[in-house]
A and B are shown apart, each in its own frame.
Chain A
Amino acid sequence: GAVVSQHPSWVICKSGTSVKIECRSLDFQATTMFWYRQFPKQSLMLMATSNEGSKATYEQGVEKDKFLINHASLTLSTLTVTSAHPEDSSFYICSARALVDRIPGLAGALYNEQFFGPGTRLTVL
């Protein structure tokens, strides 16, 4: 239980193009999904929090017009990096927080835990 997938796992694009990354909770419903970015040998930095059906909440310093987040359902959130530039190259990771107080197959799990996807490596040329 508690599987989160991301697609694509890696993407290379030209400067100025837009890239969409999908995050799905495969075996549970997620009230909230989170988007992080991680630079080499650094920890995760939260970019934004997204609740299904409402606007995302962005962390200070994160441009909401550049990083568009859509949380269309309880199992899907997307991050679109618009007009990507080389400085946007990074490892983007999503996480999902469960709706229910138990996740099937994960003994003792409570709703509070965040479960992470495998990440998407974005390289902007």
Chain B
Amino acid sequence: EDQVTQSPEALRLQEGESSSLNCSYTVSGLRGLFWYRQDPGKGPEFLFTLYSAGEEKEKERLKATLTKKESFLHITAPKPEDSATYLCAVQAHRSISGGYNKLIFGAGTRLAVHP
């Protein structure tokens, strides 16, 4: 069964204190791994897609990396406005009814950055 596990569940950082969020996955043939940011009461905002082990993508203070078993979202010198829930999702290659396009989400990491 495809699974996504994110850790930690919650993370509190001081402004400027860099850290990493983890997303471990098991999937029968990874088609893509996605990172989203979600603010309270809003829909997820797309951040990155990673397709193969060794791939890295960056956007401002965020950098996402991918291995065959997990992905990391590195946050460098975070600011209070980076506070949000970060969601990881995987998509499998197999084509089962609705399964081909289906994203399987982790529970998320709630990040709080304090000044």
Contacts and interface: CB of A to CB of B under 8 A. Distances in A.
Interface of A: 2, 4, 6, 32, 34, 42-46, 48-49, 57, 59, 91, 93, 95, 97, 110, 112-119, 121
A97 B101 contact: yes
Nearest to A93: B43
Contact of B46 (A6, A115, A118): A115
B45 to A, nearest CB: 7
B46 A2 contact: yes
Given A112-B31, A116-B46, A49 B105 contact: no
B97 A113 contact: no
Contacts of A110: 49
Nearest to A10: B41
Contact of B43 (A2, A46, A119): A119
